[in-house]
């Protein structure tokens, strides 16, 4: 099976249960940028695809950064005088500020307040907060929950460890016919929240599972990393791989609201940008320019690396109120949106794998399709699309335009134009040359 057979939507639709099931299994794990939550997450993904788990020691110098101490959490609560847990980590991983240092204390509500985080504008929601690189501790809770607390005193326990250990990331390499690579990257450091970023993990895992069953030209490298420090660690540790990276995409936020959004590479006009702009445009999505603000695309695109890595999301981070709150739960994401996102990624890869330059072989002028039985036997929209694709592929086979150029100009799916070009080639009317 080739990757071209993955683009009709059937494969993406069939992955629906795998993606939603994976998210349900991952949602309760205590993920952070290091620690056992990341290991558990990778172990679960490794049941679906061959993930190699890498462990990089704390204190390792990584470019301008240092791998931090490993953080793990056993328990955390704020309890009243009767021992009742007023705030309990086990009710939601979001209740504890990520990377909180250990604490055991008795405090009044006023003493506790500087360590409590709420969202007054959304009084039912719990915010997501971290303190990776500044030692501190705290709890997150809803404003309504805080308003119901009395003056205390309270027993406060943060039973965490922050000590020399490892940064853990996962890597799944699917060798292709060529050593040149396509990078697919997603972050695995967020606890509890679904859109950011269980959807990225789910789509990337489903993608790798589908690719593992196909033949493909490129070698695919799926990276499952803690944000920022994880991608920097991978970049620093793999200098020999970087020259082989031809295209790349960061996947995140794919199940929430809004149309698909492609964020261009820093260069802005890479092959992956042109391909993604067409795929996303065909799905009424948006294309945005690069900015050094966002997810790991900003590391891949940074000067010194300058890799051609764009980003696919729906409504981007910070632009929906549920972002980084307890409202980004499993009910916030839609399985239909996940399926569409996976289908779009498969289309993007189809363009990267199969774009070519059609060159006319037959006589000049429109070829007589009917004589060769190339007109579809039955009518309707898809038949009309097939005829248009044949006319466009034949009508632009001047050796100066690629199949993607033709698809963009025709406003047709790339796969339709490619199928038409293959049919014409099989009938001796054109040949398909590799892109220069």
296: contact with Zn ion by CB under 5 A: no
CB of 254 to Zn ion, least distance (A): 13
Q: Which stretch binds Zn ion (CB under 5 A): 19-27, 104-112, 195-203, 284-292?
A: 195-203
| 300: number of Cβ within 10 Å | 28
Beta-strand relationship, 261-263 and 286-288: parallel
Separation between Cα atoms, residue 221 and residue 245, nearest integer Å = 9
Q: Which two tokens stand for residue 354?
A: 């199969």
Beta-strand relationship, 85-88 and 70-79: antiparallel
322: contact with Zn ion by CB under 5 A: no
Q: Which stretch binds Zn ion (CB under 5 A): 35-43, 66-74, 196-204, 297-305?
A: 196-204
Nearest to Zn ion by Cβ — which residue?
196
x/- mask, Zn ion, residues 97-116, rule CB under 5 A, reads --------------------
CB of 161 to Zn ion, least distance (A): 24
Give the residue with the Cβ less far from Zn ion, 196 or 355. 196
CB of 297 to Zn ion, least distance (A): 13
| 74: number of Cβ within 10 Å | 12
Phi, psi of 133 (to 5 degrees): -110, 5
CB of 9 to Zn ion, least distance (A): 29
> In degrees, to the nearest 5, what angle opens at C-alpha 411 toward C-alphas 407 and 415?
45
CB of 190 to Zn ion, least distance (A): 5
Q: Which stretch binds Zn ion (CB under 5 A): 85-93, 130-138, 153-161, 194-202?
A: 194-202
Q: Which stretch binds Zn ion (CB under 5 A): 189-197, 258-266, 347-355, 420-428?
A: 189-197
Separation between Cα atoms, residue 165 and residue 61, nearest integer Å = 14
Separation between Cα atoms, residue 39 and residue 108, nearest integer Å = 37
Give the residue with the Cβ less far from Zn ion, 70 or 196. 196
Alpha helices in 123-170 (DSSP H): 143-147
Give the residue with the Cβ less far from Zn ion, 200 or 367. 200
CB of 129 to Zn ion, least distance (A): 11
54 touches 170 (CB < 8 A): yes
339 touches 20 (CB < 8 A): no
Residue found under tokens 């009309």 = 384
Separation between Cα atoms, residue 394 and residue 365, nearest integer Å = 9
Report the candidate in 87, 77, 106 with the shortest Cα–Cα distance to residue 144: 87
Q: Which stretch binds Zn ion (CB under 5 A): 81-89, 94-102, 190-198, 404-412?
A: 190-198
Give the residue with the Cβ less far from Zn ion, 152 or 200. 200
Strand partners, 333: none
CB of 51 to Zn ion, least distance (A): 21
196: contact with Zn ion by CB under 5 A: yes
Give the residue with the Cβ less far from Zn ion, 3 or 228. 228
Give the residue with the Cβ less far from Zn ion, 31 or 247. 31
CB of 94 to Zn ion, least distance (A): 12
Separation between Cα atoms, residue 328 and residue 149, nearest integer Å = 25
Contacts with Zn ion by CB under 5 A lie at: 196
């Amino acid at each position: 099976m080739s990757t071209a057979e993955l683009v009709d939507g059937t494969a993406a639709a069939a992955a629906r249960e795998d993606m939603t099931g994976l998210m349900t299994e991952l949602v309760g794990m205590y993920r952070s940028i290091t620690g056992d939550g990341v290991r558990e997450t990778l172990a679960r993904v490794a049941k679906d695809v061959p993930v190699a788990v890498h462990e990089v020691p704390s204190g390792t110098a990584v470019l301008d950064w240092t791998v931090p101490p490993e953080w793990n959490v056993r328990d955390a609560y704020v309890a009243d005088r009767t021992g009742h847990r007023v705030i309990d980590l086990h009710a939601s991983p979001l209740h504890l500020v990520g990377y909180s240092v250990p604490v055991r204390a008795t405090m009044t509500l006023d003493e506790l307040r500087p360590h409590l985080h709420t969202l007054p504008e959304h009084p039912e929601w719990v915010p997501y907060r971290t303190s990776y690189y500044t030692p501190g501790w705290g709890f997150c809770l809803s404003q309504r929950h805080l308003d119901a607390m009395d003056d205390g005193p309270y027993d406060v326990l943060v039973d965490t460890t922050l000590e020399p250990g490892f940064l853990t990331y996962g890597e799944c390499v699917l060798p292709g016919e060529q050593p040149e690579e396509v990078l697919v990257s997603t972050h695995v450091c967020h606890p509890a929240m679904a859109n950011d970023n269980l959807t990225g993990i789910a789509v990337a895992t489903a993608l790798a599972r589908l690719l593992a069953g196909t033949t493909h030209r490129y070698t695919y490298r799926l990276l499952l990393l803690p944000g920022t420090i994880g991608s920097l660690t991978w970049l620093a540790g793999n200098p020999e791989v970087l020259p082989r990276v031809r295209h790349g995409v960061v996947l995140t936020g794919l199940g929430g609201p809004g149309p698909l959004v492609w964020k261009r590479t820093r260069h802005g006009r890479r092959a992956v940008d042109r391909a993604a702009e067409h795929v996303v445009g065909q799905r009424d999505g948006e294309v945005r320019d690069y900015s050094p603000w966002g997810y790991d695309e900003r590391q891949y695109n940074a000067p010194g690396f300058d890799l051609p890595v764009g980003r696919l999301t729906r409504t981007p981070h910070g632009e929906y109120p549920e972002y980084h709150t307890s409202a980004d739960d499993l009910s916030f994401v839609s399985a239909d949106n996940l399926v569409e996102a996976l289908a779009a990624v498969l289309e993007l890869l189809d363009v990267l794998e199969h774009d070519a330059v059609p060159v006319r072989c037959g006589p000049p002028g429109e070829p007589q399709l009917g004589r060769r039985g190339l007109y579809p036997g039955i009518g309707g929209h898809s038949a009309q699309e097939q005829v248009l694709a044949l006319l466009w592929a034949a009508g632009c086979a001047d050796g100066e335009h690629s199949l993607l150029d033709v698809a963009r100009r025709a406003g047709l799916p790339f796969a339709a134009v490619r199928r038409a070009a293959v049919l014409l080639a099989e009938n001796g009317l054109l040949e398909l040359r590799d892109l220069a």
